[in-house]
Every structure is written in structure tokens, then in C-alpha cells.
Amino acid sequence: MNAQQYTTRYTQAQVTSVDPKRLLLLMYEGGMKFLRLTREGLVANDLGAFGHNLGRAQAIISELMNTLDHQAGGKIADDLARLYEFMLHHLTEANAKRSLKHVDEVLAVFGNIADAFRQILTETTVETPAQPTPLRTAASA
């Protein structure tokens, strides 16, 4: 087995054994990576790289949109859906017009969402200090 096969198997194992919050974080990180690569491809006038990475970014945003639970998420899920729709539309425009401005705007919005999720995830996974056990007194016994 070569190094690429080991990497692929490791990645598959990581994705299938990770908790849903961590998987969502991996999706946001992947989205940022492909959006940056989309931008780099456009700047370099490498339309192959631009198109490939644009498609990957759109796929991630679409998947994020499709996994929203509107019933449990309420207004937040609705707002995220609108932002994802905006980003998908903007990336379509970026593709049609070869527009760096559109890519940069999506990078900014997607980056803000990814940063907010990362912050929420960090805050909810930080261990809270153990609470001291109250002393039992004769009155409470």
C-alpha cells in the first residue's frame, strides 16, 4: 500500500469515527481551503484549478445547506440557509464573470460563519472546573 492509500484510509477513518460537531468543523475548514484555492486559481488565470476548486467549494456549501435542521434550528437555520444560498449564487456569478470580487465576498461570509462555529465549538468543549462538593453539616444530615 502506498502513502496516498494510507492517507485516504486514514481520512476515511477519521471522518467515519468523528463526532458530528467535529465533522461540521472539518467541512468548514475544507470549504475555506477550496475557496482560497478558487481565488488563487482565478488570480493565476488557471481556469482548470479555478473551476475544480469552485466546484468543491460549492459542493461543501450545498452539503452544509442540505444538513440544516430547520425544525430544531428555527431562525438560525433559516438565516444560515439564506447565507448559503447567497454564497452559491455568488459563486455562480464568480464563475460566469470570472469575478474575484464575488469570490472574495463569499470568502468573507463563509469565513465569518466558520469562525463563529469554531468559537461556539471551542466554548462548548472547554472543560468547566469541577464544582466543590458542599460540606455536610450536622444540620443538613
Return the CATH number at 110: 1.20.120.340
**CA 88-95-67 angle, 5° bins:** 20
Structural domain count of the chain: 1
What's the confidence (pLDDT) of residue 1? 74
Say if 54 falls within a structural domain: yes
pLDDT tier at 137, thresholds 50, 70, 90:
very low
Q: Is residue 11 part of a domain?
A: no
* Segments forming the whole domain that contains residue 111: 20-120
- pLDDT interval class at 4 (50, 70, 90): confident
Q: Which of 63, 62, 49 is nearest to 95 (CA)?
A: 49
The reply to whether 109 falls in a domain is: yes
Q: Is residue 130 part of a domain?
A: no
Residue 108, domain member (yes or no): yes
pLDDT at 134 (0 to 100): 43
Position 50 in a domain:
yes
Considering the domain boundaries, does residue 129 fall inside one?
no
This prediction has a pTM of: 0.77
**Residue 1 lies inside a defined structural domain of this protein:** no
What region, left, alpha or beta, does residue 68 occupy, with left being phi > 0 and alpha being psi -120 to 50 degrees? beta
Q: Identify the DSSP state of 2.
A: -
